[in-house]
Structure formats: C-alpha cells, structure tokens
C-alpha cells in the first residue's frame, strides 16, 4: 500500500462524505428523541423496510446488550414498522421513500445520522436481521466491551456474519415475533469460510457459509461478503464504503492480526432466513434494490421464493457464544 | 482493632461507597482519597452519603493521573491522616474503589494478626525481573520523563531515545536500591511510619517525583530500608495483560475468584452485580487458615492468553489471518498427500483406511469435484464438493478441511490429472508429508487398453505436470516431509514403503501389514512403455522398468555394474 494509494483513498473518503452531505435531504425526521443521548451512550444505527416481525427481538437483543439509543431510517415500510418504532421510548425515526440502492444500500442516510449524532460515540451499525454477539456477551455488556477496546487503543470491532437456517424447508418453520430467532433458525455452517485480502481496501474478505454452498457454487466470486466492522468509535470523518464490510479510513477495518495471534472479534447472527424470506425475495425480484448488479442475483432470489432446504446432517446446531468461540468463528483475543 | 484502610477513589462512586461500607462494617477505619479532578458536587455528594459512618475520614485531595506522582502523594496524605487519627491501627491496607474483598474481612484481620511484623508488599529489584512494559525498567529510575506517556507518546519515546543516545543518567539517592512491584500493599504501622517520618524524606520525594510510574516503586523501594520482615507479594489479586493494563473481572470470573482464596481482588467491572453480590463470601471456619493462592488464577490467565495469542495453528478467522510467509503451516494437524498409489493399487483408499484408521480422501483436487472420504457431497463443517468453490481459494479449502477434522489424521490422493495450484502450499507446509511415486500415471493409461500412439499426447501432458510438481517439491523452499521414488523403485519393494507410510500416519498404533493391497496386473507394462518411447515420448519419470522387475514375484535379476575404465 503506497502513499499514492493512501492518498486516493483519502479523496475517496472525502467524496463519500460529500455524497452523504448531498443526500442529507432524502430522509426526513419522524420522531426525534436524540435529546436523550448521553455523552457516553452507545448508539445503534439501522435502515429497515417492513421488519415488523424482526424488530421486537432486535430491539430486545440490543437493549440487553446495552445500546442506549436507536437511530433508525425507515425506507417506505407498509406493514406498520414506522408506527411501531415511533412508539418505542428509545428510538428516533427518520423516513424516506428514495432508492435504497442509490443511497449505497442505506449507508448515505445512516452516514448523515452518524455525522450528526455519532461523533465520539461507540456506534453500532447493523441491519434488522443481524444480531451481534461476542464472547461472554451474556455477562459483559457493550459498555464493558467498549471500555476494554478503548483501553486497548482499538477504535473498531469486527464480526463475521453467520447465516442461520432452519432444519427443513425455510417456510415450514414457524416464527412468532418477539421470540428468539435462534430457536427457529438453529443451524449454521461451521467452517467453509474462505478468507483473502481485499486487493483494493486491504480488509480481510470472507466469503462462504450456506448461501455460498447452495447458491453461488457456480460463481464463487459473487458469493456474499461476510466480514463486517459493525462497532466503531465514530468520528465525523469516517465513512462506511459498502454496507459495513469496509470503512474508511482503512485502519478501522484492520480488525485481524497478521502475526498469528487473534484479536477479539464477534459474530453477527444473520436471521435472514425467517419464514417470510420467500415473500421478501419475490418483492425484491420486482424492486431490485439489494445488489449493485441486480440481474446477476435473479437466480438467487428466484430460488429463495421456492422454499428451499439448506439443512444437511453435518450442519451445526447453534448453542451460544462459547460454542462459536471453540469453533474458531469468533475469538476472545486478549479479553480474558 | 488493628487494620486500617486507605482507599483511592476517582470514579464509580456508588461502588466505592459500597466498598467503604464493607471495610467500615468489619470495624476497619477508612481514610478515603478522592481525585481532585472529580467535580466538587460529586465529591460533596459522596462525602454526604458516607456521613453516617464514624470511622471514615476524607483527606486532602491531589490530582491523580496514571503514572504520576499524584498517586503517591495521595497515599502519603491518607496514610499520615490514618496513623494520626487511629493510633490503634497496626496494619495499613492500600485499596482502591475497584478493589473487592473476596474473603470476609475478619479473615484478613486474623491473617494479619498472625503476622504482626510482616509487610506484604511486592518488591523486586529491577535487575532481576523482566516485568515491565515498553522496555523501561532500570531506566525508570535514571532518566527524566517530562512528557506524559498516555498523551504524548511520541515525545515521550523520542525524549527517552535522546537521553539514551547522549548517555544521560540521573543520580539515585544514596542508600536507595530501586525496587518495583504491585502498587497495592499492606504495610505495618512501624514501616509506614518510618517511611513517612524518614529524615531524608524530602530527598526521596524529590527524587521519586521524577521517576516514571512512582506508585509502583516508591513504597516498594523505601520499605526495603525500614522493614523488619518483607513478604514480597501483594494481598490484592491483580492481573495485568502484556501491555501492563489491568485485567477487569466480570461476572463470568466468579468461580475463578472463589478458587483463588485471595483476600482482595481488582479491578472489578462496575456492573458485575454477581461479583458484588457474591463477595465478600460468608465466613467459613474451615477456610480461615487457608493461604491465598493466586497460582490457579495465574495459570488460567496465562493459559488463556497463550492459547489466544500463540495457539490455534491452522485457524483462519475474522480476527486471525496469518500470512503463509510468516508461518510454517496452514493446517491445524499433520496430513499426508499420496501421489500415484491409487494408480498402482485399485482399492488403495479402503485398504489404507482399514490399516490406519485415518480419514483417507480420494482426489480432493480432482477436476470434476472434491472426492471426500465416503464420496460425501457435503463434508464436515459444510464443505461443498464443488470444484469451482474449491478452486476459488484452494488454500482455504485445505485449511478448513483439516481444521474441521483436526481430531483425525487426513490423507488424500493427488496426481497430475488434478488442479495443481495447491502445489506450492503443500510443499511449504511443515504439517504435510508428501509421498510421490513418479510415473504412476502410466498405469491407468496402460490399463485403459488404448494403444501407445493414442495415449502419447496425454502421457506427455501428465509427465510435464508431474515434473513441474517434483521441481516444486525439490526446491530449497519446500518444508514438508517429502519422499519421492520412481515407479520402478517402488515396485521393487512396495511393502517396505507402505509400512513406512502406515507407521507415520498411525504412529504407535501402526500394525504390521497383514494383508497386502492388491496390485494391478502390470504384465506388459514394460513393453507398453517401450512402445511409448518408440513413439518418441520418453516416460523418464517411471524409472527403468524392465520386464524382469515388473511383477515382484520373480527374483530380481541383478544387472551388471558398469565398469568405467581408467584409460
């Protein structure tokens, strides 16, 4: 990585910040409770669309982890998501009906919120179907984690996205809103993850998991990216690049160790495959808002509407954070 | 009444209040020092909350920042007040608001009563103990540190380098031998009094004011001058990570702390309700005489740190991505690569499984798909047999396969007909042992029934690929255990080679070969190879297979040695 490349990335980051600023009017505030934010509060940012089923547990999970305030952009839901969020005491809501794809999959909108409210805070940026866990998360809340990260001089925390799926066809396993989705989606692929360095941004690029095994075998390069850096001590100078996979400046996604020892890291439990996935995919086939080159992902969404079964007898049953640590999907690092 | 407590507080006042009540409740007078950075409103509120306790005093406040003299000044201030106000105090215990008594304080007092003349203070000479962070041990005492380490790290480092370069050294006051240790101590009244009333205290204070992190060396050094009996260990259990930062104890450490039998532990996470509810433990007459034993805790922490920082070879994950050049192996366990054997023995795979109990895969890197053991489509850890997925990152494929099955020994077949990209990775891997029978690819061609002229191009291609692989294996960078033999060499003594392989894979469980695997009928192979030669394609990798040595049943005809004449 030479100076010229670093310089180009610097300008790239500035362009992103400019773009965020330019798109600031795309979102309009619906409920503003940001006055509640305390100087040391941990903030949670998300863009949602029709997530009324997932949100109850989503909020419950992150409240238990110690997120103090939620800043959520609602992208044109019609199932009551915005109204549900407006009723929550610790949620501020913005709404927009603009294109999710053209807003860099919501990153422009969230970027503007982070720019305004995130500076100096530990900021968690997740999707509604991502539940962050880390070693000992049941006894140590985010406050403990971020205090430790501060002490170590780390400004970010990495996590692997772990696709959970049910045993049997996707639509056949019932889910009641508010339940723990890991009871329904109890299975995952233990270790078929491929790691490589991203040639441009220098982050660790992880692909694999069940979607790769089932859908992308013919074209592995297009398989979904699974590395994320969801938790960052924010500064208004920062900008996410694509989803939370990459972030500028690049030192923030250097959440791995070259020398052979492992830093602390977590897992984002991905609850995408709850029973309504078929309907969502059908909608996505029409809207085309989720991937840069939507035509290439037609098959993927088509297949998802056909109620597939991902389970096989070697699938691993999810059994909490200690199991994921033992399997080497996340690590305690030096956080003994 | 014999034990008095000095408590340094700068944050988490609700917990600090709780701790003061623990100590005071057990009849120990407490002198509290509150950092002068704390706003006066918070301070007043804190003082008020403890107003009901008669034996709690607040001393004058100093600015306490990490590694500065303020911490020593604070403890001096508090100690002076404590000794003056409470003449019955015989031992003084230095604690902070984040120190939690694990055992009943009465047990601590009994323990101290049994050691009336002992000072419990960790104190080691800098020459003998390599504890320190940043490489500064002896130099803490001989250099000057005008820049804050936390805020101006570069200036700090640069100034240290400058002093080292010009050979600057401060003079250490006469009689002082620098010692260091944990800053949490328990001293006798006599020693502490002697330190505070030392006629030279002005000199010492002026000196230590400029030492780096004086709270780890001031009392540790001066106690050596005055103490009658030093027990060089701290009664406070405190763990530090490799950067010298204190480890924080959480609810999940409850069992570990219980086992430690230590009197006091720090630092405790302020929201660790379980710890604050569990400790101090209720009195237990059986335990009263038990010595604190931080050994178990030390071991658990050291093991955990080792495992997480050094161990787990062969694991690639979100937070661990060792590059192949900086490590010797990508695999978590030893594995074997076998080239050519399954061409010679048709059911080699099942035979080897039977003999060794190892996991024997087919051609993992075959062009059509990955042939896992048992021909499974999805293997352990949900590895797909798809060739594209595998070849997208062949290195991770192997690493994942072995990580997932690291409880057993893996073997797989390899050959010139397979994808070859993995070659270098195998050759460089110290966990790999690679056995090659070169030229064995000729046997399937021979058995195919096709004529030499038909297979000529194919044979040439396979030979070229295999030769390239052999060159890799013979390169000086190859670190795997490698054994290469020609087909001719192998069929002369196949049993010896097979026995070696089995011994290596199965280790001490390896048995003598009861039943030899069935070799393909090689009658006619020499003629076939000769025919290839006649076509212009020399199969040089097979070695020299003559009619005589093909079937191993006949005694091998020894050839005449060449005689090179002197003339």
> What CATH number corresponds to the domain at position B108?
3.90.550
Contact B247 A210 (CB under 8 A): no
- Residue in A152, A257, A315 closest to B319 by CB: A257
- Residue B105: inside a domain, yes or no? yes
Q: From CA A5, how far away is CA A200, in angstroms rounded? A: 9
The answer on B330 and B303 residing in a single domain is no
The answer to whether residue A140 neighbours chain B at the CB level (below 8 Å) is: yes
Q: From CA B23, how far away is CA A332, in angstroms rounded? A: 34
Nearest residue of chain A to residue B386 (CA atoms): A217
- Residue B374: inside a domain, yes or no? yes
Contact B242 A330 (CB under 8 A): no
Q: What is the dihedral of CA B34, B38, B39, B45, to 10 degrees?
A: -40
- Residue B162: inside a domain, yes or no? no
The answer to whether residue A97 neighbours chain B at the CB level (below 8 Å) is: no
- Residue B20: inside a domain, yes or no? yes
Nearest residue of chain A to residue B245 (CA atoms): A151
CB pairs A-B closer than 8 Å: 165
The answer to whether residue B277 neighbours chain A at the CB level (below 8 Å) is: no
The answer to whether residue A204 neighbours chain B at the CB level (below 8 Å) is: yes
Q: For A201-230, b where at least 16 C-beta lie within 10 A, e where not — what string?
A: bbbbbbbbbbbbbbbbbeebebbbbbbbbb
Bigger pLDDT: B269 vs B283: B269
Q: From CA B295, how far away is CA B286, in angstroms rounded? A: 20
The answer to whether residue B392 neighbours chain A at the CB level (below 8 Å) is: yes
Q: From CA B93, how far away is CA B4, in angstroms rounded? A: 6
Handedness of CA B196, B199, B204, B206 (dihedral sign): positive
Strands (E), B267-401: 335-339, 359-363, 378-379, 383-384
Using DSSP, state whether A160 is helix, strand or coil: strand
| Domain residue limits at B90 | 3-130+177-309
- Which residue, of B254, B279, B309, is where some domain finishes? B309
Contact B242 A227 (CB under 8 A): no
Mean pLDDT of B230-255: 84
Instruction: Give the pLDDT score at B555.
Output: 40
For B3, residues 6+ apart whose C-beta sits below 8 A from its C-beta are: B28, B89, B90, B91, B92, B93, B105, B108, B109, B112
Contact B305 A336 (CB under 8 A): yes
Q: For A146-167, b where at least 16 C-beta lie within 10 A, e where not — what string?
A: bbbbeebebbbbbbbbbbbbbb
The answer on B193 and B66 residing in a single domain is yes
pLDDT band at B552 (very low <50, low <70, confident <90, very high): very low
Count how many domains chain B has.
2
Contact A314 B242 (CB under 8 A): no
Instruction: Give the pLDDT score at A91.
Output: 96
Q: Which fold has domain A3-327?
A: Spore Coat Polysaccharide Biosynthesis Protein SpsA; Chain A (3.90.550)
Contact A255 B319 (CB under 8 A): yes
Instruction: Give the pLDDT score at B377.
Output: 86
Judged against a pLDDT cut of 80, whether residue B195 lies above it is answered with yes
pLDDT in tens, B452-493: 888 899 999 999 999 999 999 999 989 899 999 999 999 888
* Domain spans of chain A, in order of start: 3-327
Using DSSP, state whether B225 is helix, strand or coil: helix
Bigger pLDDT: B322 vs B237: B237
- Residue B164: inside a domain, yes or no? no
A203 CA to chain B: closest CA distance, Å? 10
The answer on B385 and B483 residing in a single domain is yes
Q: From CA B110, how far away is CA A155, in angstroms rounded? A: 47
Cα distances from A40 to residues A68, A134, A146, A233, B229, in angstroms, run: 9, 21, 10, 11, 47
Which residue in B382, B399, B400, B407 has the most chain A C-beta atoms within 10 A of its own C-beta, making it the best mutation to test that interface?
B382
Judged against a pLDDT cut of 80, whether residue B566 lies above it is answered with no
Nearest residue of chain B to residue A156 (CA atoms): B319
The answer on B7 and B126 residing in a single domain is yes
The answer on B251 and B186 residing in a single domain is yes
- Residue B139: inside a domain, yes or no? no
CATH number of the structural domain spanning residue B364: 3.40.50
Instruction: Give the pLDDT score at A83.
Output: 93
For residue A191, count other CB atoms closer than 10 A to its CB.
Answer: 24
The answer on B198 and B235 residing in a single domain is yes
Nearest residue of chain B to residue A317 (CA atoms): B381
Residue B267: is the preceding peptide bond cis (ω within 30°)? yes
Nearest residue of chain B to residue A264 (CA atoms): B319
Instruction: Give the pLDDT score at B557.
Output: 46
**Surface-to-core class of residue B515, CB atoms within 10 Å of its CB (0-12 exposed, 13-18 middle, 19+ buried):** exposed
B539, B533 Cβ separation under 8 angstroms:
yes
The answer on B229 and B203 residing in a single domain is yes
Instruction: Give the pLDDT score at B554.
Output: 40
- Note which residues in 32-71 of chain A have CB less than 8 A from chain B: none
**For chain A, which ranges sit under pLDDT 50?**
none
Q: From CA B357, how far away is CA B407, in angstroms rounded? A: 12
Nearest residue of chain B to residue A335 (CA atoms): B247
- Residue B100: inside a domain, yes or no? yes
Q: From CA B354, how far away is CA B339, in angstroms rounded? A: 19
B99 CA to chain A: closest CA distance, Å? 17
Q: From CA B421, how far away is CA A148, in angstroms rounded? A: 42
């Amino acid at each position: 990585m030479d100076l010229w490349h670093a310089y180009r990335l610097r300008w790239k980051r500035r362009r992103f910040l400019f773009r965020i600023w330019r798109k600031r009017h795309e979102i309009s505030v619906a409920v503003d409770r940001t006055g509640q934010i305390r100087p040391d509060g941990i903030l949670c940012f998300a863009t949602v669309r029709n997530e009324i089923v997932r949100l109850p547990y989503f909020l419950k999970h992150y409240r238990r982890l110690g997120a103090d305030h939620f800043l959520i952009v609602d992208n044109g839901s019609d199932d009551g998501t915005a109204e549900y969020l407006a009723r929550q005491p610790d949620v501020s809501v913005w709404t927009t009906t603009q294109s999710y794809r053209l807003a860099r999959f919501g990153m422009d909108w969230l970027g503007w919120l982070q720019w305004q409210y995130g500076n100096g805070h530990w900021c968690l940026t997740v999707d509604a179907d991502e539940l962050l866990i880390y070693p000992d998360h049941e006894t140590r809340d985010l406050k403990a984690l971020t205090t430790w990260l501060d002490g170590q001089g780390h400004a970010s925390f990495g996590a692997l996205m772990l696709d959970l799926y049910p045993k049997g066809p996707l639509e056949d396993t019932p889910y009641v809103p508010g339940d723990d989705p890991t009871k329904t989606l109890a299975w995952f692929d233990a270790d078929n993850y491929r790691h490589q360095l991203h040639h441009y941004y220098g982050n660790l690029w992880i692909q694999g998991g069940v979607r790769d095994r089932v859908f992308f075998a013919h074209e592995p390069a297009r398989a979904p990216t699974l590395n994320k850096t969801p938790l960052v001590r924010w500064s208004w100078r920062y900008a996410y690049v694509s989803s939370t996979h990459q972030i500028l400046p690049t030192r923030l996604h250097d959440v791995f160790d070259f020398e052979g020892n492992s830093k602390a890291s977590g897992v984002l439990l991905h609850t995408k495959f709850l029973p309504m996935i078929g309907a969502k995919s059908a909608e996505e086939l029409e809207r085309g808002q989720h991937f840069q080159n939507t035509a290439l992902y037609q098959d993927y969404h088509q297949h998802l509407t056909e109620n597939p079964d991902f389970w096989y007898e070697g699938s691993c049953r999810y059994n909490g954070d200690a199991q994921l640590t033992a399997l080497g999907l996340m690590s305690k690092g030096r956080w003994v | 009444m014999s034990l008095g407590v000095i408590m340094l507080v700068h944050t988490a006042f609700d917990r600090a209040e709780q701790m003061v009540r623990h100590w005071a409740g057990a009849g120990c007078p407490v002198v509290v020092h509150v950092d002068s950075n704390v706003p006066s409103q918070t301070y007043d509120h804190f003082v008020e909350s403890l107003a009901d306790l008669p034996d709690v005093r607040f001393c004058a406040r100093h600015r306490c920042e990490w590694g500065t003299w303020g911490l020593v000044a604070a403890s001096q201030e508090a100690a002076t007040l404590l000794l003056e106000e409470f003449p019955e105090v015989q031992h003084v215990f230095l604690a902070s608001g984040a120190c939690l008594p694990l055992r009943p304080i009465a047990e601590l007092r009994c323990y101290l009563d049994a050691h009336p003349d002992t000072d419990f203070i960790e104190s080691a000479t800098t020459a003998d103990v390599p504890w320190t962070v940043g490489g500064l041990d002896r130099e803490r005492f001989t250099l000057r540190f005008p820049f804050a380490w936390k805020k101006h790290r570069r200036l700090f480092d640069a100034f240290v380098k400058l002093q080292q370069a010009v050979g600057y050294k401060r003079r250490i006051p006469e009689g002082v031998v620098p010692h260091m240790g944990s800053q949490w101590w328990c001293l006798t009244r006599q020693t502490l009094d002697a330190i505070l009333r030392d006629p030279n205290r002005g000199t010492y204070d002026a000196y230590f004011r400029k030492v780096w992190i004086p709270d780890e060396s001031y009392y540790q050094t001066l106690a050596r001058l005055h103490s009658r009996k030093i027990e060089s260990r701290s009664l406070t259990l405190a763990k530090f990570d490799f950067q010298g930062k204190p480890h924080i104890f959480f609810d999940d450490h409850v069992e570990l702390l219980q086992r430690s039998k230590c009197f006091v532990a720090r630092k405790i996470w302020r929201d660790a309700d379980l710890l604050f509810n569990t400790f101090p433990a209720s009195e237990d007459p059986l335990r009263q005489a038990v010595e604190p034993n931080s050994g178990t805790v030390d071991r658990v922490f050291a093991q955990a740190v080792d495992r997480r920082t050094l161990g787990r070879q062969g694991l690639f994950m979100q937070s661990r991505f060792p590059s192949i050049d900086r490590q010797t192996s990508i695999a978590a366990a030893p594995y074997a690569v076998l080239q050519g054997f399954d061409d010679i023995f048709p059911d080699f795979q099942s035979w080897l499984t039977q003999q060794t109990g190892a996991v024997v895969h087919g051609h993992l890197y075959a062009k059509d798909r990955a042939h896992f053991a048992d021909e499974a489509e999805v293997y352990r850890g949900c590895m797909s047999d798809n060739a594209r997925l595998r070849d997208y990152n062949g290195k991770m494929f192997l690493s994942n396969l072995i990580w997932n099955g690291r409880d057993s020994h893996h073997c797989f077949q390899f050959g010139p007909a397979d994808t070859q990209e993995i070659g270098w990775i195998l050759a460089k891997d110290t966990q790999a042992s690679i056995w090659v029978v070169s030229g064995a690819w000729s046997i399937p061609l021979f058995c195919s029934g096709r004529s030499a002229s038909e297979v000529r191009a194919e044979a040439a291609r396979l030979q070229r690929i295999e030769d390239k692989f052999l060159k890799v294996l013979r390169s000086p960078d190859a670190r795997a255990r490698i054994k290469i033999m020609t087909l001719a060499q192998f069929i002369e003594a196949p049993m010896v080679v097979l026995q070696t392989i089995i011994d290596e894979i199965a280790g001490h469980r390896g048995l003598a070969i009861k039943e030899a695997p069935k070799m393909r009928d090689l009658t006619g192979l020499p003629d076939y190879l000769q025919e290839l030669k006649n076509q212009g394609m020399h199969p040089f990798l097979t070695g020299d297979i003559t009619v005589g040595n093909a079937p191993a049943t006949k005694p091998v005809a020894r050839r005449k040695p060449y005689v090179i004449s002197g003339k």
